[in-house]
Chain A
Amino acid sequence: MPRRKHKGGGRRSLYRRLRAWWIRLGLVCLVILGAWVSWIDHRLRVQFDGYRWSLPARVYARPFELYPGRPLHRAEIIGELGVLGYQEAPLIRRPGQYQQTSNAVRLFSHGYRFWDGEESSRVVEIRLHQGRVQAIIDRRNGTQVALMRLEPLEIARIYPHHNEDRILVKIDDVPSRLVQGLIASEDKSYLHHFGIDPLAIGRAFIENLRAGEVRQGGSTLTQQLVKNLFLSSERTLWRKINEAVMAVLLEWHYSKAEILEAYINEIFLGQDGFRAIHGFGLGARFYFGRPLRELEVHELALLVGLVRGASYYDPRRHPKRALERRNQVLALMINRGALTPAVGGALMKLPLTLSKKNRSATSNHPAFVDLVRRQLGIIYDDEDLRNEGLQIFTTLDPQIQRRAEQALRVSLSELERQRRMHAGHLQGAVVAAAIDTGEVLALAGGRDPRYAGFNRALDAKRPVGSLVKPAVYLAALSQPSRYNLITPLYDNPIVLRQRNRAPWTPQNYDKRYRGRMPLMRALAESNNVATVRLGIDLGIDKLQRTLAQLGVSGEIPPYPSTFLGAIEMSPLEVAQMYQTLSSGGFYSALRAIRDVLTKDGQPLQRYGLTVKQVLPAAPAYLINYALTQVVRSGTASSLGAKLPRSMPLAGKTGTTDGLRDSWFVGFGSDVLAAVWLGADDNRPIGLTGASGAMRVWYEVMKERPPAPLDLAVPRGVEWQWVDAPGMARTTPSCPGSRRYPFITPFIPSRHAPCDWRQESDYARAPREFLW
């Protein structure tokens, strides 16, 4: 406190002391400021260096393979090209275009770097003849192409939780016109300033004063990037200062190129439902359906224009505004000398050239993708799946998938109409798979394909009814000393008394009894009583073992009703069981994924082809033969009549108690499909396997039915003519004699003379004899 005595000297010392205090204060402030700046600096560098954008996982369908001899209809290839975004054009000039002639389809493929081989971009002519590819000619050099595959179709993305979506681009791959456009429109002196542009701020300030409102910002690209990456969007002075400091620091540590690259990948360019479009890479795809490097200058200018307001200038919702804004950008580019006035002027006259919006915001086939996620979830964390940009190559065949979805949608409505059911009462599921490789080709979880809710193909566990019978008969045929295809079974009344349960009288569908019949016919006609008798003879443990061999996991109830299918399985589990049967006894776990790659295309995981022989070849052959009889003359004979050129086809119908579930599984030599119909509330639907599920199966398969079953006779099986009662060998000329396969050495050996009076018990079976 100054003393009054030292007035003159006191003022000077006061001044000096105050100054000392101010200096101290100033120093402290400087230190605090320095600490703050270096803290920001540290945070910024850590974040920017470690910054990895969350990229969604991308899910692809199987690539479409083309080779001479491949069965192919014109509509199939055109459909495939359509979903890949190819456009029909009178002249083929660039990748992504195709052309049709009377006997061929010409296309310019994009090419793709698959991890197991590069597919080059080609101009080819695909000649079609009688439903097959006749030849593939490379139009650039006239050579024949033995095999090619198209780029894979993306069917879904698995998004990060914040729903941002982007396609990363490297600065070297960015068209220079885009950079010029950005600089001209957003930050004229980007290449020269140090993070902030005082001149620009000053100019903006004056402009805004003059206009009386905030018209221009003086923000550099760097500042915009900082705002987007690190800061909130509140517009306070404090935030502006933060932003400025961080922009300067960013420029201090990183090059113009690095910052620009980050900017190009970060900037928000649109909203598609719940999905936020970030970065020019995805912006190009989203608005123009093409990769960034293929865009024309006016298209780039449109994207640049979106930076100022992606929703405001949305070209799909506000085309006029978008066009004006685009031309503004073009004008700025002319101003800056990036474009000549002539060129720029011509570009401004062009209309908007947007592509149709892809339905890729939501997954196209949620039920199938659901299976993919479950199979991946065994190995990958949910976070990794959503954020690391994994590329997942699946087994999906979009053509079969489309037919399955359509069949469910259309057939269920028709069935409801025909049977006067309440609309929406019926539900269903379809699983299609390749027999020898176990690849899941299609999976539909309900009649509404876009509804990503209850996935009946995976989760609807329903009693399988007669679908279990092949397992019973297989168990029998695996004991060739006791059973063969013509062993007599007895469809006679039987009552089963079980401990602690009411006595059970199994019944056939029509409540009749037919007496003695050969084993194969009992299966073909799905006879219940004969099957129960057979099962009891065999023992439930044999059935349990057979089902386990077939890949049916889960508990198998040890009751006689199990012989008639009182076990619950999902359609996928049913498909698995029949995969093992139809492949001749080689179990191959049904899988939906082929490969998983990192975002850079490095292989991470392969789901390679594996098989395991779980049944000997001979009984597997017999059961498959028996299942062809189901379609030829048994419960599925109306299907056989509709697909004569696909015969032999094998299958099994399944109907449950009270007509609550309708099942059908059918297969040829390459493909199998399992169909289930029912009501979610388990009420009766009044449909048998043949009248319900089999009709849907036909709708799925009719365009491209399975290849006929090629029943090559394995070692250990011999065909033999036997007489009508099936007791003795005979010759073809005897009436009632037929050929059957038998497991050696258990073939009827006794020869019998022809009994010309003998009338075949099996009159309905076609006879083969020579006059």
Chain B
Amino acid sequence: MVKLRRRFLGTVLVAALVDVGAPIQPWNALTAAAESEGAGISAAPAASMVSPAVAALLRLARSQADAGHGEQAAATLERALRIEPRNPWLWHRLAVLRLQQGYWDRAAELAKKSSVLARDHRRLLTGNLEVIQAARARISRSNVE
């Protein structure tokens, strides 16, 4: 296995994941259209579907994402997932967030996980499918370029 060693010089290393405060980048027309048409479901799940703790975290993640702190929002959603690991809504929201951040592969896999857990929930299944399609479109686009 190749070991990566980077010299740490007191500056912040940007590893693959860290949001250094940049706002969530708007991407190209295709995916922007998908987003505006609602790739994924932006509305919150019904109150009956989540516990108060998870509801609070969903709200927090929302505000963090809106303020452009994508990684913080992801961390908050992951915190919610530790409380309800089999809640398909949470996996879906994380998938949508990753899609918005441009992590196509990850977004698709998270959406698949959500779908397996969602079983017959049509709205969620459709939402996840949108995310997967948007991600695949973007991946094949970048392969062509």
Contact = CB atoms under 8 A, between A and B. Distances in A.
Interface string B32-59: 0000000000000000000111011100
Given A147-B53, A608-B74, A714-B119, A434 B82 contact: yes
For the residues of A in contact with B, the DSSP-based class is loop
A116 to B, nearest CB: 4
Given A613-B112, A613-B113, A603 B53 contact: no
Contacts of B82: 65, 434, 437, 439
The contact size tier of chain A is: 35 or more
Given A116-B76, A381-B7, A605-B15, A712 B119 contact: yes
Contact of A146 (B15, B56, B86, B112): B56
Contacts of B55: 146
User: 10 closest pairs, A vs B, by CB?
Assistant: A67-B53, A384-B8, A147-B53, A116-B75, A436-B85, A146-B52, A146-B56, A606-B17, A605-B15, A116-B72
B52 A68 contact: yes
A435 interface: yes
Contacts of A146: 52-53, 55-56
B141 interface: no
Contacts, number: 119
A69 B53 contact: yes
14 contacts: A52-B10, A115-B72, A116-B79, A147-B56, A378-B4, A379-B4, A434-B82, A436-B86, A436-B113, A603-B71, A605-B18, A608-B17, A609-B81, A710-B86
A146 B53 CA distance: 5
B53 A68 contact: yes
A400 to B, nearest CB: 14
A603 B106 CA distance: 21
A604 B20 CA distance: 9
A434 B85 contact: yes
Interface string B53-78: 10111001000100000011011101
A435 B18 contact: no
Given A379-B15, A435-B85, A117 B72 contact: yes
Contact of B51 (A68, A606, A714): A68
Interface in B87-134: 94, 106, 109-110, 112-113, 116-117, 119
B12 interface: yes
Contacts of A609: 74, 78, 81, 94
B101 to A, nearest CB: 10
A517 interface: no
Contacts of B12: 598, 602, 604
Residue from B7, B8, B112 having most chain A Cβ neighbours under 10 A:
B8
A712 B85 contact: no
Contacts of A584: 116
A380 B51 CA distance: 39
Contacts of B30: none
Contact of A436 (B7, B75, B81): B81
B65 to A, nearest CB: 12
Contacts of B94: 609
A105 interface: no
A439 B109 CA distance: 18
Contacts of B116: 584, 586, 613, 617, 714
Contacts of A670: 85
Nearest to A148: B53
B110 to A, nearest CB: 6
Interface string B1-39: 101111110101101011000000000000000000000
Contacts of A750: none
A643 interface: no
A712 B51 contact: no
A614 to B, nearest CB: 10
Contact of B75 (A434, A435, A595): A595
B109 A604 contact: no
Interface in A427-443: 434-437, 439
B83 A608 contact: no
Given A606-B75, A609-B94, A613-B109, 5 more contacts: A604-B15, A606-B74, A610-B109, A613-B116, A712-B117
Nearest to A66: B53
Nearest to B9: A384
Given A384-B8, A611-B113, A714-B116, A605 B53 contact: no
A58 to B, nearest CB: 16
Contacts of B117: 712
A612 interface: yes
A67 B51 contact: yes
Nearest to A713: B119
Contact of A603 (B5, B7, B18): B18
B51 to A, nearest CB: 6
A710 B25 CA distance: 39
A200 to B, nearest CB: 38
Contacts of B4: 378-379
Contacts of A67: 51-53, 83
A373 B126 CA distance: 42
A669 interface: yes
Contacts of A65: 79, 82-83
A217 B99 CA distance: 68
Contact of B6 (A379, A435, A436, A437): A379
A436 B117 CA distance: 11
A679 to B, nearest CB: 30
Interface in A125-164: 144, 146-147
Contacts of A435: 85
A605 B8 CA distance: 12
Nearest to A584: B116
B98 to A, nearest CB: 9
B3 A378 contact: yes
A384 to B, nearest CB: 4
A147 B57 contact: yes
A584 B117 CA distance: 10
B46 to A, nearest CB: 17
